[in-house]
């Protein structure tokens, strides 16, 4: 750099040199203006909800797991005998019980039947909503949402009345006489399945209907011009495009139907004759409260928790993968 002098010439002025820095070097990150610093503000907003969730979820799960490792019967509840640590003894007793594995298999098969039936009815009605006019569509939506909003115990009571052997209109219309739907094992499961599908299909119907409306109309028109039938259009066009939505509703239906309790307990009188309609939730209730074997009931609850946790992890992984694909 040069500076003018009194004689008209110039003298060269040397600027101090700072080692490791030049005019072309960027500013240090710590001193850059506008640099973001970690903020605790979002966590402060989430803190009340996290505290509530911890009290409603973490502590009960901790107590459930703790009781499953103890000897906890009516004597311990009453304070007559001290609790003793059993380790994995309750789980060993549970896994050695043949009824547990039978109930587990029944629960898986029943949940699978409920999921498949719910998806079939929900998807069929979602396609129907795209084919009818505004007034029938509104009536169907209101009826479906009414079924969805009905409490499980209320819906179960209504369905029991409809299929009552003495006063139910279903037996009178079809001429079944005094046939009892809840007496046989498979007829009782079929009746409960109908009620579960009735209160579950609206979620699938509304979700799939929203996905169908998001499909470009040109795609459906092109398939129709090519002579595709309704079934072929669904199988080859709509189903692949709706795969992310179908994955979500399928996994959520698995979680809901695997832990069915109210419908089975109310409609079969606590698990049916001689426990022929038991599922895991009702089986755990009977062990804990009917037999006062609280440790075994808690162990069943922990097993169910682990199974549903595995399903939830698969669900979250699928959601993440679909988000990356989008």
Question: 142-190: per-residue pLDDT in tens?
Answer: 999 999 999 999 999 999 999 999 888 999 998 888 899 999 999 999 9
Q: Write down the domain spans for the chain.
A: 60-96+293-307, 98-292
Q: What is the pLDDT of residue 325?
A: 57
DSSP state of 11: E
Residue-level pLDDT at 36: 60
Prediction pTM value = 0.80
| The pLDDT of residue 34 is above 60 | no
Q: 3-state secondary structure string, 172-207?
A: HHHCCCCCCCCCCHHHHHHHHHHHHHHHHHHHHHHH
For 242-293, where are the alpha helices, taking DSSP H only? 243-258, 262-267, 280-285
- CB 154, CB 195: distance < 8 Å: no
Residue-wise pLDDT for 198-238, tens only, equals 999 999 999 999 998 888 888 878 888 888 887 888 888 88
Tell me the C-alpha distance between 47 and 71, whole Å.
36
Residue 25 — pLDDT band, cuts 50, 70, 90?
Answer: very low
Cα distances (angstroms) measured from residue 49 to each of 44, 53, 56, 57: 10, 6, 10, 12
DSSP letter at 70 equals: B
Nearest-angstrom CA–CA distance, 316 and 320: 6
Name beta bridge partners: 3.
11
Confidence band, pLDDT 50/70/90 cuts, at residue 114 = very high
Give the CATH H-level superfamily of domain 98-292: MetI-like (1.10.3720.10)
Which tokens go with 74?
């009516």
CA distances 163 to 174, 192, 235, 260, 266, Å, are: 11, 11, 35, 20, 14
């Amino acid at each position: 750099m040069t500076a003018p002098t009194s004689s008209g010439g110039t003298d060269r002025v040397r600027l101090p040199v700072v080692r490791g820095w030049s005019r072309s070097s960027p500013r240090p990150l710590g001193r850059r203006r506008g640099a973001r610093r970690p903020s605790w503000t979002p966590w402060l907003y989430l803190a009340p909800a996290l505290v509530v969730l911890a009290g409603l979820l973490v502590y009960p799960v901790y107590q459930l797991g703790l009781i499953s490792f103890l000897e906890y019967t009516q004597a311990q509840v009453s304070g007559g005998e001290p609790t003793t640590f059993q380790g994995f003894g309750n789980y060993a007793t549970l896994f050695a019980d043949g009824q547990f594995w039978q109930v587990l298999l029944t629960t898986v098969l029943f949940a699978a039947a409920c999921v498949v039936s719910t998806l079939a009815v929900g998807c069929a009605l979602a396609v129907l909503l795209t084919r009818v006019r505004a007034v029938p569509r509104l009536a169907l939506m209101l009826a479906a949402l009414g079924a969805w909003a009905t409490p499980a115990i209320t819906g179960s009571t209504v369905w029991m009345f409809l299929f009552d052997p003495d006063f139910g209109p279903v037996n009178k219309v079809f001429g079944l006489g005094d046939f009892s739907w809840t007496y046989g094992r498979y007829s009782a499961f079929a009746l409960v399945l109908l009620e579960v599908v009735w209160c579950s299909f609206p979620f699938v119907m509304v979700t799939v209907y929203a996905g169908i409306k998001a499909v470009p109309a040109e795609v459906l028109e092109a398939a129709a011009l090519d002579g595709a039938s309704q079934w072929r259009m669904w199988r080859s066009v709509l189903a692949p495009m709706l795969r992310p939505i179908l994955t979500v509703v399928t996994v959520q239906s698995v979680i809901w139907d695997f832990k069915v309790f109210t419908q089975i307990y109310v409609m079969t009188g606590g698990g049916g004759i001689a426990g022929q309609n038991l599922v895991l939730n009702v089986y755990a209730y009977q062990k804990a409260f009917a037999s006062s074997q609280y440790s075994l009931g808690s162990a069943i609850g922990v097993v169910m928790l682990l199974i549903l946790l595995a399903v939830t992890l698969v669900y979250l992984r699928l959601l993440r993968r679909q988000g990356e694909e989008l």
